[in-house]
Structure formats: structure tokens, C-alpha cells
Amino acid sequence: MVERRNKPSALASTPGLVPQPQVNISHGNQRVSAVLPTGESVEVMLYGATVVSWKDSDGNEKLWLSEATKLDGSKPIRGGIPLVFPVFGPPPANHPTSKLPQHGLARTSRWEFLGKSTSESEAAEADLSVKLDFGLSAATLDEAARALWPYTFGLIYSVTLTRDSLTTSLVVTNDDNKPFDVQVLLHTYFRIPDINKIQITGLEGAEYIDKVDNRKIKTQETPAVTITSETDRVYTPKGGADAPIAIVDQSSGRPLYKLSRDNLGDVVVWNPWAEKAVSMPDFGPDDGYRNMVCVEAGAVRGWQTLEPGDAFEGAQTITLA
């Protein structure tokens, strides 16, 4: 090999090229991670396509993940952003979803990683993003799962990371020759400093189902929701999917997270509080309820009926303050 006296500089230092996001598959092909050149990151398990981590550029975790949850595919993951499909909560009797486990089959199925896409290489560093796509269909379900809900369907789930936001979107298609009903929910566990010092805004005047109080229909009378006991409510904001929701630090009045929704008209607010947290074997630590709150975008008050060939798409974007 001839030694050149004037070697060109390494390609990595080529002027004008912005460093690109890095995507890796790890943990025995069980986890997909993406990292922006500025340090922000996201991790998604192929089991359930559950987002289990979202960190800012300083490495601060934004999602709450139970220390007691299983990440080996043996049980649904407690924390992060589990996917609820095609039924929310315990399935109703005498309904086509009645044989399914609570919250459906998406969060307990192994998804396929379909690939990544990134912003253009010449984009400014602040505009860099990476999108991860995952797929699940009736054809990829195991035989036992197909027997519980025997419809032909397709799901495409996309997770998009930017410097200051995380977007998760789900597209459901009916590939069957008969209609079916579905419910969809993005069951987001937010990490917070102290449950006693946050409030949730954007729900004033909204009707909600209070699942802790015998599913009574109530109206949010105060400007903000505060959590002081076990809370499990299904809100329908007055502004529909256009109503902005925020998790606010009461001491400073500063939003910690802002939540915008697309075609997801309901918002579930959940915190187990002390007694229930202790009774849940996959919830840990026992006082972990102090540092989490679920604010979940979904379409769950009724059913979305998809005719053959129809599709339903819903999305949320979480923006950091």
C-alpha cells in the first residue's frame, strides 16, 4: 500500500455535515434505542412496542418505570408508554373483545421493528429528529392471541424524537371483510418530582367518569386537577382533541410537560396512591406513586367502528417546557 504524504482528513470531519441520530438494537434484539447527536434519547421494547425511556440532553429521565416490572416479555410492562388496543380496561361481557386480557393484546405482543427515518443531513442541529416505526398484524400474532380476537388488522406505531419533544402515533387498519370496534390509548407514565406539588391543567369544565367512585359521571369544577388520593378518571375535554393539556409545577407555575393530541378526544388521569400501590406486585418502589402520574391520550369513552378497509389514526406529542 502506497503511503500518501498528504492524506485527506477523515470523512467524519467533512465540513457542512451535521452529525446524525444513532439507532441501535440491543438486549438480544429486544430493545431499539435512538440517540440524537445532542444527547436526547428514547428506548422502545419490541415486547409491546412499549417506550421505556425518554431522556433529555442532560440524561434526565422523563418517563416513570416501575422498579418491579418485568422486561423479559413475561408480563405487561408497568411504566413508560404502554399501548392499549383494542380495548381499554377489563373487556365488557358479550362483546367481541370479551376474551382479551385487560387493555388488550398490543402491549403483550412482540412487534416488528420496521426501520428508522431521520431529518435531512444538512438540517440545523436544533431541527434533527429520528422516527422509529414498529408493526403488528394479525399474521404476526401467536395462535393463542389470534383466537382471542379473530380479526385481520394492521398496526403501525411511530415514535419520533426531537430535541424537546416525543411524538407517538398509532395507525389501525381493518384488513378484514367485516367491521370491528376498537379503543386506543397511549398509557403514558410521566416522571414528576412530587405528586403533591403538581397540577394538571386544560380539563376545567370537562365531563369525566370517576372510576374510583362507582363510575359516576362528574364535571371538573376547578381550573386544575390535583391528586390527593387514588385517582382514576376518564376525561373528555371541552375542546376535544384540540384542548391543550399540561402538567404544571405548582410552586413555580411552570409547565413540566405539555401534551397535544391528534384525533384522541379523551384523557385518562391515573395515580394509584399509597394503599393500591402497595397491593400491586409489579409497582415499585411502594412509594413510587409520589413520583409518577399517568396522563393518557386516547379514544376510550366509546368505540371506534372500522369498516373493512378503513383506518383510524391517533397521536400525541409531549413537549418539554
At which residue does the C-alpha cell 370491528 appear? 180
* Cα–Cα distance, 177 to 174 (Å, whole number): 8
Share of the chain above pLDDT 70, in %: 93
In a domain, 138, yes or no: yes
* Cα–Cα distance, 233 to 87 (Å, whole number): 16
pLDDT band at 127, cuts 50/70/90? confident
pTM, to two decimals: 0.93
pLDDT band at 119, cuts 50/70/90? confident
Number of domains forming the structure of the chain: 1
Q: Is the pLDDT of residue 280 over 50?
A: yes
Q: Are 157 and 173 in contact (CB under 8 A)?
A: no
**Catalytically annotated residue among 67, 275, 296, 307:** 296
Share of the chain above pLDDT 90, in %: 90
Count CA atoms within 13 Å of residue 292 on its CB side: 29
Helix (H, G, I), strand (E, B) or coil at 126: helix
Q: Is the pLDDT of residue 9 over 50?
A: no
Q: Is the pLDDT of residue 77 over 70?
A: yes
pLDDT band at 321, cuts 50/70/90? confident
For residue 271, CA distances in Å to 70, 200, 261, 295 come to: 20, 12, 21, 9
In a domain, 294, yes or no: yes
Q: Is the pLDDT of residue 2 over 50?
A: no
Helix (H, G, I), strand (E, B) or coil at 124: coil
Q: Would you state the torsion angle of the CA atoms of residues 111, 184, 166, 311, taken in this order, to the nearest 10 degrees? A: 80
Give the range of the structural domain holding residue 109, as residue numbers without chain letter. 23-320
* Cα–Cα distance, 79 to 235 (Å, whole number): 21
CATH number of the domain at 281, please.
2.70.98.10
- pLDDT score, position 82: 98
Neighbours of 247 (CB within 10 A): 21
pLDDT mean over 17-36: 93
| Identity at 179, one-letter amino acid code | P
pLDDT band at 131, cuts 50/70/90? very high
Measured at the CA of 96, the angle between CA 92 and CA 101, to 5 degrees, comes to: 60
In a domain, 255, yes or no: yes
pLDDT mean over 56-73: 97
In a domain, 116, yes or no: yes
In a domain, 122, yes or no: yes
**Catalytically annotated residue among 187, 204, 230, 275:** 187
Quick check: is 296 catalytic?
yes
In a domain, 250, yes or no: yes
In a domain, 270, yes or no: yes
Q: Is the pLDDT of residue 14 over 60?
A: no
Quick check: is 187 catalytic?
yes
- Interstrand relation of 165-174 and 83-84 (parallel, antiparallel or unpaired): unpaired
Q: Is the pLDDT of residue 120 over 80?
A: no
In a domain, 129, yes or no: yes
